[in-house]
Amino acid sequence: MFRKRPRTPATTLSGKSDFFDDLPEDLLVFILCKLSSSASSPSDLVNVLITCKRLNRLGLHPLVLSKAGAKAFAIKAKNWSESADRFLKLCANAGNVEASYTLGMIRFYCLENRGSGASLMAKAAIKSHAPALYSLAVIQFNGSGGSKSDKNLQAGVALCARAAFLGHVDALRELGHCFQDGYGARQNIAQGRRFLVQANARELASVLRYLSSPAWRLLNPPCVSGSGCEGLLSDFGCNVPAPEAHPVNRFLRDWFESGTGGLSEGLRLCSHGGCGRPETRAHEFRRCSVCGMVNYCSRGCQALDWKLRHKAECMPIERWFDEVGGAGDNGADGDGGMVEVEEIE
């Protein structure tokens, strides 16, 4: 694999100035691949493109682009531009799954280009990209980008199942609730509960892995119980931060909240902070039936937000709401206090 170009004996005595020319292309590509795959922000990779023509050419080599990690596409919403779009498309064409997913989400929700967005996400989903499968499932459940009749619950469940099979925690939760309620699949309460337990177990496992990494120990002294607890594991007294969301969710939220993109009249954002998805038509999302103040795109977001903040602040605004769909207790699987949601016409 290594084409060894022999070092020319005519290297100058100082050796320095000829170094860059001597370095074989495949080594440079390897270095750039490592850089792109471990990039923590777009500038890590793009910096290299600006240095000189040779690195510019090599930095845009399909191999380098295809290896870029998700964080390399963590663009700030206010910086979005045509060229950002072009760069992401380039990476997606090089086979980068994260780029496909990221661009798909941005085009679907922010640029409102439903067809292109969905097909990019599908491209990622075909390559078994779990977040893409889950996002497509949410779109199917809500009939996003179309009318209420475009909802396809069975398709949603099928996509969720595939994402869940790959270990996606939100998809597992979503699937669990679908089975418990007979939503898009034949009701099977025991199976639903199993999925919910599995979701919690996976979340715990990923958090433990994160906890045992040197980076975590360096940055965080042991948590004091009760301080800043997040994630559903707080039920078990595990006060650990929620798993990191995909950078594109941050992008969506910033896009709509900061006003870079316009949210049409009457449309709302999913009230879960880590989601960022907007409604694509009025009354698409479901609201909390107790207080009616918050809306969610999916069960997964509802469950997380309940634990993260809403449980503390949810209050019935009118008494008669209490009789309709009050808090359902699912203490067995640790999602205790889950609130029913209903879709308003």
Partner 1 sequence: MADDGVNTKVEAVSKATTETIELRTEDGGVFDVDKPVAMEFLILKSFYEDEGRVFDKTSIRLPNVKQLELSKVIEYCTRALEFGAKSAAAAGDKDAERMVRQEREGFEAEFVDELSNEMLKELILAVNFLDIKEMLDFLIRSVANRIRNRSVAYVRQFFDIENDFTPQEEDQIHQENAWAFEGVDAD
What would you measure as the largest C-alpha separation in the chain, in angstroms?
Answer: 90
Phi, psi of 278 (to 5 degrees): -100, 160
Kindly report the CA angle at 132 between 207 and 201, in degrees rounded to 5?
A: 25
CA distance 138 to 159: 9
The nearer residue to partner 1, 76 or 194, going by C-beta atoms, is: 76
- For the bound state, the minimum distance from the C-beta of residue 245 to partner 1, rounded and expressed in Å, comes to 19
- In the structure, how many helices (H) and strands (E) does the chain have? 16, 3
- For the bound state, the minimum distance from the C-beta of residue 48 to partner 1, rounded and expressed in Å, comes to 6
3-state secondary structure of 2: coil
The nearer residue to partner 1, 34 or 127, going by C-beta atoms, is: 34
- For the bound state, the minimum distance from the C-beta of residue 105 to partner 1, rounded and expressed in Å, comes to 16
- For the bound state, the minimum distance from the C-beta of residue 211 to partner 1, rounded and expressed in Å, comes to 13
Report the chain's C-alpha Rg in angstroms: 23
Task: Using CB atoms within 10 Å of the CB of residue 190, give its burial: 0 to 12 exposed, 13 to 18 middle, 19+ buried.
Answer: exposed
User: Residues 298, 175: contact at Cβ < 8 Å?
Assistant: no
- For the bound state, the minimum distance from the C-beta of residue 17 to partner 1, rounded and expressed in Å, comes to 6
The nearer residue to partner 1, 75 or 161, going by C-beta atoms, is: 75
The nearer residue to partner 1, 15 or 228, going by C-beta atoms, is: 15
Task: Using CB atoms within 10 Å of the CB of residue 59, give its burial: 0 to 12 exposed, 13 to 18 middle, 19+ buried.
Answer: buried
The nearer residue to partner 1, 39 or 160, going by C-beta atoms, is: 39
CA distance 184 to 70: 31
3-state secondary structure of 230: strand
The nearer residue to partner 1, 78 or 148, going by C-beta atoms, is: 78
User: Residues 248, 101: contact at Cβ < 8 Å?
Assistant: yes
The sign one gets for the Cα dihedral 248, 249, 252, 257 is negative
Q: What DSSP string describes 231-258?
A: SGGGGGT--BPPPPPPHHHHHHHHHHHT
Q: Which positions touch partner 1 (CB under 8 A)? A: 2, 4, 6-7, 16-17, 19-20, 22-24, 27, 30-31, 34-35, 38-56, 75-76, 79-81, 83-84, 87, 212, 214
- For the bound state, the minimum distance from the C-beta of residue 185 to partner 1, rounded and expressed in Å, comes to 38
The nearer residue to partner 1, 46 or 332, going by C-beta atoms, is: 46
CA distance 53 to 68: 20
- For the bound state, the minimum distance from the C-beta of residue 81 to partner 1, rounded and expressed in Å, comes to 5
The nearer residue to partner 1, 74 or 153, going by C-beta atoms, is: 74
- For the bound state, the minimum distance from the C-beta of residue 44 to partner 1, rounded and expressed in Å, comes to 5
Phi, psi of 341 (to 5 degrees): -120, 155
- For the bound state, the minimum distance from the C-beta of residue 259 to partner 1, rounded and expressed in Å, comes to 18
The nearer residue to partner 1, 5 or 127, going by C-beta atoms, is: 5
Query: Could you report how far apart the first and last alpha carbons of the chain are, in Å?
Result: 62
